[in-house]
Structure 1
């Protein structure tokens, strides 16, 4: 029962500002299953297009060709390329959340949850390396969505840290500062070991275990 309070922080959308559906805030949400499939195709095609070409070189016509959707249909769902980009950032943020949440189970302790959540993020990033370019571009294309992406992730981490302290597994006083520090570490180990690679033999589980060991033991000789 107690550990479920730590896990609940992974999906606490209302309080932390996480969008329930990343595309909903900028897309015209379809009412039919066919419409939802078309929207999904557009978002997936946009991830490929923006990931390969960047925001400014990407085009609506190329995105619709990738998606196999008529150009005119695009405007049924989005007002502009900018709106699609904002929706895509939200959609990717939601995918990061759900991929981490799906890796957890009720029997996990607070430290184990951090390891599993990071490993899940690393596996997600390995399959969607474009996320780094798209999120980085968001800083300049749409600073609000860029900031919201990181603020919502940090808020979830902070909730987990506080919940772990309540359970007696983490020390008291952990919060926003430690959450941002932990998030920064997670983002950059993903960049180094997943996006750049560089011939390393370390997999997602090994990288996550190393970060987890740093959390548990620190860097001081004992």
Structure 2
């Protein structure tokens, strides 16, 4: 492919206005797919929700699959960007996991559509689905490794522990973020964190 062809295929917004339009389309896609699912959701439904002309959609995305894939990546990034700064304020490695779950519960309660979208991605775009969880687990594993180096958690923590904690968080988010958000998120996070502390907390804590 020539440089000219590559430039033609590049749909990255080049202006602030273009970025706002693309963001509006992704937000509309979250609402469309969150409400109707991937198969019943439509490009016309997305553009109506976004208040954009149909041509604007094709300026930034090629197909419905294309925007769905971008949406999965975008929502994964939104979770990361919401949770990471809050974790940075943790007292130690154990507290970081409490804050991580608490922040995720808060995010899930205001973005309930994330579960339907991520779950459907397993069948619409398996690579994006896998990347979402692998990237999340990788960040958690790195966090646990750093905590072990500081003596906050057991020295033998590894990838398995990261996936186990992530799995717990995913289902707690579903139960107490999406299905029923009446129980205080701080209480749920504290109960789960007690399990983590007893399981991987450093001896003598």
TM-score for the superposition, normalised by structure 2:
0.90
RMSD: 1.5
Pairing 1:175–2:158 present: yes
Within-5 A mapping of 1:81-92: 81-92=64-75
Pairing 1:134–2:117 present: yes
Q: Aligned equivalents of 2:119 and 2:84: distance in 1?
A: 24
Within-5 A mapping of 1:73-88: 73-88=56-71
How many residue pairs end up in the alignment?
191
Offset of 1:129 from its aligned partner? 0.3
Cα 1:57/1:187, change in 2 over 3 Å: same
- Answer whether contact 1:27 1:83 (CA < 8 A) is retained: no
Q: Which runs of 5+ in 1 are unaligned?
A: 1-25
Q: Aligned equivalents of 1:42 and 1:27: distance in 2?
A: 17
Match of 2:84 among 101, 112, 116: 101
Residue deviations 1:114-141 (CA, integer Å, cap 9, x gap): 1111111110000000000000000000
Pairing 1:206–2:187 present: yes
Q: Aligned equivalents of 2:88 and 2:174: distance in 1?
A: 27
Q: Aligned equivalents of 1:90 and 1:98: distance in 2?
A: 12
TM-score for the superposition, normalised by structure 1:
0.83
Structure 2 equivalent of residue 69 of structure 1: 52
- Answer whether contact 2:176 2:182 (CA < 8 A) is retained: no
Offset of 1:105 from its aligned partner? 3.8
Q: Which runs of 5+ in 2 are unaligned?
A: 1-8, 200-205
Offset of 1:27 from its aligned partner? 8.0
Structure 1 consecutive aligned stretches of length 4 or more whose deviation exceeds 4 Å: none
- Answer whether contact 1:89 1:135 (CA < 8 A) is retained: yes
Tell which structure's C-alpha radius of gyration is larger: 2
Within-5 A mapping of 1:1-222: 28-106=11-89, 108-197=91-180, 201-218=182-199
Higher relative contact order (CA closer than 8 Å, sequence separation 6+): 1
Higher deviation after alignment, 46-55 or 111-120: 111-120
- Answer whether contact 1:27 1:84 (CA < 8 A) is retained: no
Cα 1:107/1:62, change in 2 over 3 Å: closer
Offset of 1:217 from its aligned partner? 2.0
Q: Aligned equivalents of 2:90 and 2:133: distance in 1?
A: 28
